[in-house]
Amino acid sequence: MVLFLIAWLGGVLTIASPCILPVLPFVFARSGRPFLRNGLPMLAGMAAAFSVVGALAAVGGGWAVAANQYARYAALALLAVFGLALLLPTLAERLTRPLVALGERLSASADAAQHRHASVAPSLLLGVATGLLWAPCAGPILGLILTGAALQGASAHTSLLLLAYALGAACSLALALAVGGKVFAAMKRSLGVGEWIRRALGVAVLAGVAAIALHVDTGLLTRVSLAGTNQLEQRVLDRLAPARAHPLAQANSQAGAQTSEQRSLAIKASTAQALALPVEGTLPSLDGAVQWLNSPPLTAASLKGKVVLVDFWTYSCINCLRALPYVKAWADKYRAAGLVVIGVHAPEFAFEKDIGNVRRAVADLKIDYPVAIDNNYAIWRAFGNEYWPAHYFIDAQGNIRHHHFGEGDYRESEQIIRELLIQAGAHNLPGGFVTDTATGAEAAPDMSAMESPETYLGYEKAHGFASPGEPVADEPHRYAAGPLDLNQWALTGTWTLGAEHTDLDRAGGGIVYRFHARDLHLVLGPAANGHPVRFRVTIDGAPPGANHGADVDANGNGVVTEQRLYQLVRQHGEIADRTFEIRFLDPGVRAYSFTFG
């Protein structure tokens, strides 16, 4: 019930978001008319259409995307006719009599709605058309619903969450419609300008149709929606569901630290008495992996009698990379005692679904234990997992006895492994605990100095974008960088802003970020044709020198050769606000996200 309330509140907050602007003309075109037979059916149709399209987009394949695109074209045509009917009914009837007659009937139905037997179907149809065009800002709440649906699969639960979100938006729009209706009615009574209001609404509807058809709405709103209502939505999530993070959000070190004290106390208590570890469930099926590396496919039945550690990870996740040295060390240290470590690679970015990329990453990271490539999230869903990284500890009877999300608590996790091995009959276990000896991106973060958050560069999740002017989505556009505040970033040169990544169209472009952390990483990929992309890094306008990361030299030079995380900065000495810039000497690079340590 709490999740439905959160979804509804997220929808209500869309009234404060700029992403609602493109559909306002269609909504206010129904103002000044009886709400029950005009405004209400339209808002209901809008909510229903958005819910259906949102559910299909989350769980469907390419057919759903194509079907939605054709539906958008039909909706644009219908609303264009509606706008013409409002603006120039006589001229529109002469030019295209059948279509405009339909548009005029839809428009006139609002006036006829005051009669007892008037139909609500035209307003409902306009609402459906509006819902097909509405693309609300993907803030934390909508992101929780859509990405949860994508990974957890189609269900009535996720569909109802989408409907709750849409109904929340409809409620706030209904209030705006009621207020707008009173204002328009007063203007009609006092000034006699009803016909001019009708024409103005017609112009607004046609302008909205044109903006959506030409993608001006996404280009204009991409930048302003980067801030949007995200902070308001995050406060709602924190207040109503403080113990529950975004279903697909990486469990970063800060999130892990929030519960580490409680978890540490629980583990210390459990190690005093072996039987204190609760049974959290049984090892689910490992079927569904598209391929296994380093091993033939494993099954729950074949693992009976073994202590198993299941590690959910993905190879460009900085949190996963920093936990990996411990996982590898445990696999080596306790293999002879009966421990089996299984890495379940569940991709975050599209390039992480490429089996060749995963195979190279496994080799580069020197992972020798079995890895299940879970591109369809079958194992992820079987565990009900929600985090990267996530560790599940299974005893020799196949029972899940403990779990840990995020980084940290490595000593306690190793003690759990030892306890389960002892319960399974192991003797003479190797002494001591694994210590941190990792280097490069796998080294532990400096949490006391880290004030910059993970930052995505695709417009679906981006925040902090600060290039002057209006950004343009999915089309090449030239950008510049101005002064930046902490945790703001900007593009320079000609880039194409994509949903998941941002692509450089011409050589010489760059990215600037004002950050505060010891380490700076950037997930990058080479050009689509696979050609390497050279780059040069500066910190506060100068070469990094001794502060260079593992993937650049002291002069800041490096090359993007594969799709992965690149460590570009590792500072020594005092940590302060710095301006990082990376300039690419070749075109085609794809930039995904910044992470810090």
CATH 2.60.120.260 fits 447-596, yes or no: yes
Which residue type sits at 145? I
465 SS3 class: strand
CA distances from 286 to 341, 343, 360, 537 (A): 13, 11, 23, 43
Could you please report the per-residue DSSP string of 330-383? HHHHHTTTTEEEEEEE--SSGGGG-HHHHHHHHHHTT--S-EEE-TT-HHHHHH
Indicate the fold that domain 253-442 takes in CATH.
Answer: Glutaredoxin (3.40.30)
Handedness of CA 32, 33, 38, 40 (dihedral sign): positive
Angle at Cα 251 formed by Cα 246 and Cα 252, nearest 5°?
A: 120
| pLDDT in 10s for each residue of the chain, 597 residues | 666 777 777 777 666 555 555 566 666 666 666 777 777 787 787 778 767 766 655 444 444 444 445 555 565 565 566 566 556 656 545 544 554 454 455 455 544 444 444 566 777 777 776 665 555 544 444 555 555 555 555 566 667 777 787 787 778 777 777 776 665 555 445 544 445 555 665 666 566 656 655 554 444 443 334 444 444 554 554 555 443 333 333 333 333 333 333 333 333 333 334 447 888 999 999 998 999 999 999 999 999 999 999 999 999 888 899 899 999 999 999 999 999 999 999 998 888 999 999 999 999 999 999 999 999 999 999 999 988 899 999 999 999 999 999 888 899 999 999 999 999 998 889 888 888 777 777 777 787 888 999 999 999 888 899 999 888 999 999 999 999 999 999 999 999 999 999 999 999 999 999 999 999 999 999 988 889 999 999 999 999 999 999 999 999 999 999 999 999 999 998 899 999 999 999 999 999 999 998
Beta-bridge mates of residue 513: 489, 580
b vs e for 78-89, b when ≥16 Cβ sit within 10 Å of the residue's Cβ?
Answer: bbbbbbbbbbeb
Sign of the four-CA dihedral 306, 312, 313, 319: negative
In this prediction, residue 153 carries a pLDDT of 52
- Percent of the chain surpassing pLDDT 70: 62
d(C-alpha 145, C-alpha 152), whole Å: 10
SS3 583: strand
Q: Quick one: tokens of 448?
A: 């006391």
Instruction: Name the CA radius of gyration of the chain, rounded.
Output: 28
Q: Which of 552, 539, 543, 547 is nearest to 572 (CA)?
A: 547
First to last CA, the chain: 37
Neighbouring residues of 48: CB distance < 8 A, sequence distance ≥ 6 = 127, 128, 131, 163, 166
| Region(s) of the chain under CATH 3.40.30.10 | 253-442
440: phi then psi, degrees, rounded to nearest 5: 60, -145
pLDDT tens profile 194-248: 455 556 656 665 666 566 555 544 444 433 344 444 445 545 545 554 433 333 3
Angle at 193 between CA 192 and CA 194, to 5 degrees: 100
Q: Give the integer Cα–Cα distance in Å for 72 and 189.
A: 37
- Kindly report, residue by residue over 93-126, the tens digit of the pLDDT: 554 455 445 445 545 554 444 444 456 677 777 7
102, amino acid identity = L
Residues of the chain with CATH 2.60.120.260: 447-596
Starting from the edge strand earliest in sequence, which strands make up the sheet with 281-282, in order?
Answer: 281-282, 399-405, 390-394, 307-313, 339-345, 371-373, 291-293
The pTM score is 0.52
Structure tokens at 273: 């008495």
